[in-house]
Every structure is written in C-alpha cells, then in structure tokens.
Amino acid sequence: PPSPPHPSAAFLGGSGEGSPCGTGLGWAGEGLGSGGKNQHVCHAAARLEMGNLWEEFNRLGTEMIVTKAGRRMFPTFQVKLSGLDPLADYVLLMDFIPLDDKRYRYAFHSSSWLAAGRADPAAPGRVHFHPDSPAKGAQWMRQIVSFDKLKLTNNLLDDNGHIILNSMHRYQPRFHVVFVDPRRDSERFAHQNFKSFSFPETQFMAVTAYQNHRITQLKIASNPFAKGFRDGDPEP
C-alpha cells in the first residue's frame, strides 16, 4: 500500500489539543470550525480503552521497557474514536514527548523516583503510523483502534522505525488524528487538518528493567502474554 502522507513540520509542531469546534459563520466557507480546525477533525473524540488499568499503573508510576530490539507497550495504547466523517480518509499516528528535562533514578529504599540530573540529548523524534492508515472514518470508528505494533527502543541507530526513547526519562504518549486533505495545496492547511489527544494517565518512565516491583507484579497479573519477564523472552 502507498505509504501515508507524512505530516508536515507544521503538523508536528502544533499542539492542537482539544481545539474548540463550532460553526463559526466567518469560517463556514472554508469548511472550518470556529477553532480554526477543519470540520473533518474538529468533532473528533477519542476515549482511552482500559482506562482503569492505565489508572492502576499510573498510581504506582508506570514503567515501560525499552530494548535494543524494540519492545511492545503494556498496557497497549487503544482508543475508541467518534465524530469522524465516515466517508473521509484519516491517518492515525502517535508520538512521544518528554515530560520534563530531567533524567531519573529509582531509590529502592524509598520506592520512589528521584531526579538525577539533566536529561540526555533528545532521541530522534519519530512518529508511529497506525498500519491501517489511511482509512475511512467509518472504518476507524467501527472498532477499537489498537497500537499493538508500536515498539519502544533505546537504540539511537534503530532502522526498524521503532520509537526511540532515553531510558530513565519520562514520556507522554500523544495520539493524532489527521484528515487526508484532497486539496492540491493541502500543505497550506496542515495545521488545520489534525487533532491531538493526550491522556495524562498514560505517562510513563522508560526503563531497561522494571525498578518498582509492584509494577512487575501488576504487569504479570494483567498481561496475558507475561511469562515471567526473563530477559530475551520471545514476544507474543
């Protein structure tokens, strides 16, 4: 399949978080909502699936394993979408942004994370396209959208397209809905054609091995594929 159009720098730079949507008359001719977002995305809504499980991890301080080969996330990032135009095409993607400019270490005696200096230089910023992109709004809304192919790595030279993160740094996953604009000069409208979603309960610390034993226990208890977290365990 043709590779989905890559969002422009304008797209990745913008936050677009929950832009208001309305039928501002001044914008109507442009197909825009009053928030300056294209009507195809301004009504888009995303509900995080397994929210209770994410909350449970978040209370303990979620940790996600990064490996050289790339490791899938658990819990898996999954959303239920609504408010898309059933007949329009959309690309769905994710990126991960640092939560702060610190690196951390885990203090076992107090079971807590402590800042341990300034962050390492940022890893190459990558996006992960959902492999079904692009697809019609109707298809995206029909079932839960699961980012189960996404893998996290700490290999700065990774050439598999995995998301590169620094271990012992905190991240916020972001989810983006991008309307595939058929207009020939669609680049001009890049900032209007997407909407972004961040769920605070999905923040996590990237680690090469779990630090908090309660996180290990919760992963084993809730992940059907967890077979003891031995290093080099084959992935599901």
The pLDDT of residue 111 is above 80:
yes
Q: Which residue has the higher pLDDT, 1 or 61?
A: 61
Give pLDDT, residue 186. 86
Tokens (6 digits) for 29: 């001719």
Residue 116 lies in a domain: yes
Residue 33 lies in a domain: no
DSSP string over 10-40: HHHH---BT------GGGGGGTB-TTS-BHH
Convert the pLDDT of each residue in 189-219 to its tens digit: 888 999 999 999 999 999 999 999 999 999 9
Looking at the structure of the chain, the number of domains it has is: 1
Residue 4 lies in a domain: no
Residue 13 lies in a domain: no
Domain span at 140:
39-222
**Residue spans of beta strands (DSSP E) within the chain:** 45-48, 63-65, 71-72, 78-82, 89-98, 102-107, 112-118, 128-129, 135-136, 145-146, 151-153, 163-164, 170-179, 194-198, 204-207
Residue 23 lies in a domain: no
Instruction: Work out the average pLDDT over 102-128.
Output: 93
Residue 89 lies in a domain: yes
Residue 216 lies in a domain: yes
Write down the pTM of the prediction: 0.84
Residue 207 lies in a domain: yes
For position 186, which CATH number holds? 2.60.40.820
How far is Cα 226 from Cα 236, in angstroms, rounded to an integer?
Answer: 9
Give pLDDT, residue 139. 98
Tokens (6 digits) for 37: 């977002």
Convert the pLDDT of each residue in 58-104 to its tens digit: 999 999 999 999 999 999 999 999 999 999 999 999 999 999 999 99
